[in-house]
Structure 1
Amino acid sequence: MMFWYDHDVSGWGWFAMSAGMIIFWALIIMAAVLLFRTLNRPGEHTPTPAAPTPEDILRERLARGEIDEDDYRSRLNALHAGPVTKR
């Protein structure tokens, strides 16, 4: 015995299928655009430079000639000695 099934898609079926395909391709295109934008941001992938340490600032001042070597060493020793406490 042979069975015959109705394989036709109704109007709502065509609508659901069409809407599904439009949503599917819209999501694929949106994901591609977001990925492209994320990868093409020039300045956000480089890490921000760290703030200079007090030792770096002293080294730069010595290199520019703002302080002499004795002043540099005394200030460096004061930095490494820790905070001054008042009694």
Structure 2
Amino acid sequence: MGRIVLIFFIMAVIAAVVIGVALLGRGSRAGKPTLEEPREILKRRYAAGEIDEDEYLRRMSGLSQDW
């Protein structure tokens, strides 16, 4: 009888850990915005027509400089 209780206890602990890890992983992705690289943002803005070629090139060269 004691072994059966121990087996069920171990299974419950394993299930709780698996469910906890799954919930933590899902929660951390849901609340945080994705961080885009500055160069990718510039490419997207240039492709969408939000900035012109001169602005695109000026900002890309600024990103390339070591400060």
Answer whether TM exceeds 0.5 for this pair.
yes
Output aligned runs, 1:15-34, within 5 Å.
18=1, 20-31=2-13, 33-34=15-16
Distance (whole Å) between structure 2 residues aligned to residue 52 and residue 37 of structure 1 = 30
2:40 equivalent to 1:56: yes
Output aligned runs, 1:1-80, within 5 Å.
18=1, 20-31=2-13, 33-34=15-16, 37=19, 41=22, 44=25, 51-80=35-64
For the aligned residue pairs, the C-alpha RMSD in angstroms reads 3.2
| Identity score, percent | 29
Q: CA deviation at 1:32?
A: 5.2
Structure number having the greater helix percentage = 2
Number of equivalenced pairs: 62
Distance (whole Å) between structure 1 residues aligned to residue 60 and residue 16 of structure 2 = 50
Q: Which has the higher contact order (CA 8 A, sep 6+)?
A: 2
Structure with max Cα Rg: 1
Calculate the TM-score normalised by the size of structure 2. Answer: 0.58
What residue ranges of structure 2 are gaps of 5+ in the alignment? Answer: none
Calculate the TM-score normalised by the size of structure 1. Answer: 0.48
